[in-house]
Amino acid sequence: MKAPTDYAHLEDQFQARIDAEEKIEPKDWMPDKYRKTLIRQISQHAHSEIVGMLPEGNWITRAPSLRRKVALLAKVQDEAGHGLYLYGAAETLGAERDDLLDELHRGEAKYSSIFNYPTLSWADIGAIGWLVDGAAIMNQVPLCRCSYGPYARAMVRVCKEESFHQRQGYEIMLTLARGTEAQKKMAQDALNRWWWPSLMMFGPNDAESKHTAQSMAWKIKRFTNDELRQRFVDITAPQAEFLGLTIPDEHLKYNEETGHYGFGPIDWDEFWQVVSGEGPCNRQRLKARRRAHEEGQWVRDAALAHAEKRRQRQAAKNDQKVA
């Protein structure tokens, strides 16, 4: 066991490296809490990617043109890919993908609440690309400079693909907004339903956010929830105006003095309701994930059993050669 003085010294050194903008790599010493915070954050992020496949996957078979179908398939596949390398990043910290998935399936691990809302029309696919991926980018671009190397590097790749998705989503919205009355109505309805949940994606107000201060000191986080939320509103409000759609917030107004858009109060009761597992689709999402996992058990078992048989046959062959 290390003496407490040694430990304090290590922590000081660690913080000095962070302050000097050095990247922390898997084999470097790190405080236990730093490791745990990262495993929690990265696995939540990975879970969000794979649960996030469900609401959009819901429209693959119904995409209104073959071009849109291919783009949506590719997008949802990208999300599966993000899930893979994020689980990979979590594994560099000593976590096991199977354990992380078990936590998700038991309902103990969190994932982004936005995916607990339903996709009810084709316009929802546009709105998710535009707003949800837009908000995700706002959160994730600073993570490319996160102090933990493997996470930062994974995020560089994720962000490139996300910004492509975001443009695709906006283009779907633009096509609908320039379309017939029925299509405009569909687009407006999607904006109405996705706007507030998108603002909630940035998490509780800074005063309520329990992890922010430590995460900022460790440079896992670079901006606070409220800063990022404001930036999102500032960028998105003019885009909605360009589309000719109305953001469902009567308080939304540009403030000349601050140079920012002011916006109305967020319904935090709804936020906590969805976070606690009682949103519109929480049960369905978890059920779908659990079912895929349980029904896939025999496939994973077969793959392992077959690999083992091959290994044994190869070993037997090698023995024969030696004999």
Partner 1 sequence: MTLAEAKYQYLLRMGDNALILGHRLSEWCGHGPILEQDIAMTNIALDQVGQARSLLQYAAQLEGKGRTEDDLAYKRDVMEYRNVLLVEQPNEDFAYTIVRQFLFDAFNFLLHKSLVHSKDEHLKAIAEKSLKEITYHLRYSSEWMIRLGDGTAESHQKIQAALDDLFIYTGELLTPDAVDQAIFEAGIGPDLAALQPAYQTKIDEILQQATLQKPEVKYMQSGGKDGRMHTEYLGYILAELQFVQRAYPNMEW
For partner 1, the binding residues (CB under 8 A) are 50, 53-54, 57, 60-70, 73-74, 76-77, 80-81, 83-84, 87, 122, 175, 179-180, 182-183, 288, 291-292, 295-303, 305-306, 309
Q: Could you tell me the smallest distance in angstroms from the CB atom of residue 64 to partner 1?
A: 4
Q: Could you tell me the smallest distance in angstroms from the CB atom of residue 197 to partner 1?
A: 20
CA distances from 203 to 18, 123, 199, 254 (A): 25, 25, 8, 23
Which lies closer to partner 1 via its Cβ, residue 76 or residue 233? 76
Which lies closer to partner 1 via its Cβ, residue 116 or residue 230? 116
Q: Could you tell me the smallest distance in angstroms from the CB atom of residue 89 to partner 1?
A: 14
Of all residues in the chain, what percent are helix, strand and coil, respectively (each to 5)? Answer: 70, 0, 25
φ/ψ of residue 211, rounded to 5: -100, -15
Q: Could you tell me the smallest distance in angstroms from the CB atom of residue 161 to partner 1?
A: 14
Q: Is 143:223 a contact under the CB 8 Å cutoff?
A: no
Residues 95 and 158: their CA atoms lie apart, in Å, by 21
**Can you say whether the dihedral through the CA atoms of 278, 280, 281, 283 is positive or negative?**
positive
Residues 195 and 191: their CA atoms lie apart, in Å, by 6
Residues 226 and 45: their CA atoms lie apart, in Å, by 19
Which lies closer to partner 1 via its Cβ, residue 70 or residue 156? 70
Which lies closer to partner 1 via its Cβ, residue 118 or residue 179? 179
Q: Could you tell me the smallest distance in angstroms from the CB atom of residue 120 to partner 1?
A: 12
Q: Could you tell me the smallest distance in angstroms from the CB atom of residue 302 to partner 1?
A: 3
Which lies closer to partner 1 via its Cβ, residue 85 or residue 263? 85
Query: For the chain, what's the residue count?
Result: 323
Q: Is 17:34 a contact under the CB 8 Å cutoff?
A: no
Which lies closer to partner 1 via its Cβ, residue 299 or residue 322? 299
Q: Could you tell me the smallest distance in angstroms from the CB atom of residue 213 to partner 1?
A: 34
Burial class of residue 15, CB neighbours in 10 A (0-12, 13-18, 19+): middle
Which lies closer to partner 1 via its Cβ, residue 160 or residue 300? 300
